[in-house]
Amino acid sequence: MIYSYEEAISKYKTNYQLGKAVENKEIFKIEPGLYSDQEFVNYLLIINKKYPNAVFTSDSAYYYHNLTDVIPQSYFLATHRKATKIVDDKVKQIYVPEDKFYIGISTIKVNGIEIKIYDKEKLLIELVKNSEKIPFDYYKEIINNYRSISNKLDMNKLSDYLNFYKNDIDLFSKIQKEVF
């Protein structure tokens, strides 16, 4: 389990006792302000603790949904536009407008760890919307994987989500052309 500094102090009562527990390897200091009862911790657990309101998106989400086999070099996290800037070399923060941020949030288990992630329908819209900014080969790989699961996509969700986008008709026709 991962503990914030406040949770660790609550457990060990004083900063001195917490320091002793770290020395005796009863608890491990993972990084400033984070402690764990295990010496080695999956970084997904750290992300869940540090950024509880963030949602996995973009390259990370494509990878975790098995839409690509390209392992992302960073963890891509979506936050709403007014969120505090994430200062972490391992994380790429993507600011999402408030009206689109909460659309399509779901949870999945990755290596036994439950994470918040955008569902495949929301990711498909974002993929097509941002297709000009994505390397062609990478885009084609993900689109081909979407084609292979097209019968499993929820068209009602897709249609509902598209209503939040200004160019929804253009996006829908491009999705129809590319995937179905």
Quote the pLDDT of residue 69: 96
Question: Over the range 132-170, which residues count as b (16 or more CB within 10 Å of their CB) and which as e?
Answer: eebeeeebebbbebbeeeeeebeeeebeebbeebeeeee
Mean pLDDT of 134-158: 97
Instruction: List Cα–Cα distances, 127 to 7, 116, 121, 176, in angstroms.
Output: 39, 18, 10, 13
Quote the pLDDT of residue 66: 97
For residue 143, name the pLDDT band (cuts at 50, 70, 90).
very high
Helix (H, G, I), strand (E, B) or coil at 151: helix
On average, the pLDDT of the chain sits at: 96
For residue 107, name the pLDDT band (cuts at 50, 70, 90).
very high
Mean pLDDT of 125-150: 97
Write out pLDDT tens, residues 11-67: 999 999 999 999 999 999 999 999 999 999 999 999 999 999 999 999 999 999 999
For the chain, give the percent of residues with pLDDT over 70.
Answer: 100
State pTM to two decimals: 0.93
Nearest-angstrom CA–CA distance, 119 and 105: 6
Q: By CB neighbour count within 10 A (0-12 exposed, 13-18 middle, 19+ buried), where does 6 fall?
A: exposed
Quote the pLDDT of residue 165: 93
- Phi-psi sector, 112: left (phi>0), alpha (psi -120 to 50), beta: left
For the chain, the domains span 2-41, 47-179
Nearest of 77, 4, 16, 85 to residue 44 by alpha carbon: 77
For residue 100, name the pLDDT band (cuts at 50, 70, 90).
very high
Mean pLDDT of 148-152: 97
Tokens 């659309």 correspond to: 103
Quote the pLDDT of residue 99: 92
Q: What are the tokens at 151?
A: 């019968």
Q: What are the tokens at 14?
A: 């004083």
Instruction: List Cα–Cα distances, 39 to 11, 17, 73, in angstroms.
Output: 18, 18, 24
